């Protein structure tokens, strides 16, 4: 049965379920790059053209999902896969895993989840070979969302993988420190949604140079 939700009347992509605001987990990465950019796009509704990299990324993700479906030999839910792995010792893989957390007010889709008897590996595919803090925060958001969605009580491994070469660029345990950091960021975005504070622009001119909103941003350093 599908979740019954409403869209927030003012803010793009914010869902309201049972009176709880939920924002996309990808916002955690966007916030780390520039919170004001996130504000302009999602809160104010400023529209600019998508970059070539964004269009290519969507196409590649769709292709990877199609390839995974072609190779998939079994169809089961995540909970069924966790139980199967614990019982048989098998390692199972799922792609585009939808998650939501009413507890933390977040939702999203994880690129890939590897299910092992003693642990869960959350994988986010990114272009290039550099891992930024924003990438890690997005994965931490997926981890906490996965735990809430499926009530998992086992080790969670977070990782970023090169989308094209399949090389793992960063792998780490999802520990208490990471959980504390991401919970603060989640609350910070909810404070924006609830108009309890103003969006903070980046003070890094290099980020402004890379930003696709630089020509319409009233806080641009250029």
In angstroms, the CA 20 to CA 127 distance is 33
pLDDT at residue 48 in the model: 84
Give the rounded percent of residues in the chain with a pLDDT score beyond 90. 82
The domains of the chain, with CATH numbers, are 6-210 (3.90.320)
Both structure tokens of 62: 């769709």
Give the rounded percent of residues in the chain with a pLDDT score beyond 70. 88
| pLDDT average, residue stretch 29-51 | 92
| Residue indicated by tokens 């003693």 | 118
pTM: 0.89
**pLDDT, averaged across the chain:** 91
In angstroms, the CA 220 to CA 46 distance is 14
Q: Express each pLDDT in 187-201 by its tens digit.
A: 999 999 999 999 999
| pLDDT average, residue stretch 188-217 | 95
pLDDT at residue 5 in the model: 84
pLDDT at residue 91 in the model: 96
In angstroms, the CA 70 to CA 81 distance is 18
| pLDDT average, residue stretch 108-137 | 96
State the pLDDT confidence band at 1, using cuts at 50, 70 and 90. Answer: very low
More confident residue, 63 or 114: 114
pLDDT at residue 68 in the model: 53
CA 104 from chain center: how many Å? 13
Which residues lie closer than 8 Å to 139 by C-beta, 6 or more apart? 122, 124, 158, 159, 160
On the 0-12 / 13-18 / 19+ scale of CB atoms within 10 A, 115 is buried
Q: Express each pLDDT in 47-103 by its tens digit.
A: 987 764 655 556 655 666 676 555 656 789 999 999 999 999 999 999 999 999 999
**pLDDT at 104 > cutoff 50:** yes
pLDDT at residue 75 in the model: 84
């Amino acid at each position: 049965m599908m979740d019954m939700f409403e869209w927030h009347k003012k803010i793009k992509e914010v869902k309201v379920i049972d009176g709880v605001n939920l924002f996309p987990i990808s916002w955690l990465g966007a916030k780390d790059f520039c919170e004001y950019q996130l504000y302009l796009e999602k809160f104010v509704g400023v529209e600019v053209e998508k970059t070539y990299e964004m269009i290519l990324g969507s196409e590649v993700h769709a292709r990877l999902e199609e390839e995974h479906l072609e190779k998939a030999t079994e169809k089961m839910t995540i909970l069924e896969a966790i139980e199967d792995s614990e019982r048989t010792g098998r390692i199972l893989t799922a792609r585009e895993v939808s998650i939501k957390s009413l507890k933390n007010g977040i939702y999203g889709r994880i690129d890939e989840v590897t299910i092992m008897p003693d642990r869960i590996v959350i994988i986010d595919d990114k272009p290039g070979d550099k891992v930024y803090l924003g990438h890690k925060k997005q994965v931490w958001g997926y981890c906490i969302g996965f735990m809430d969605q499926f009530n998992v009580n086992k080790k969670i491994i977070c990782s970023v993988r090169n989308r094209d070469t399949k090389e793992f660029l960063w792998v780490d345990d999802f520990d208490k420190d990471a959980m504390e950091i991401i919970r603060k960021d989640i609350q910070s975005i909810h404070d924006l949604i609830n108009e309890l504070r103003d969006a903070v622009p980046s003070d890094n001119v290099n980020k402004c140079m890379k930003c696709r909103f630089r020509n319409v941003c009233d806080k641009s350093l250029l």
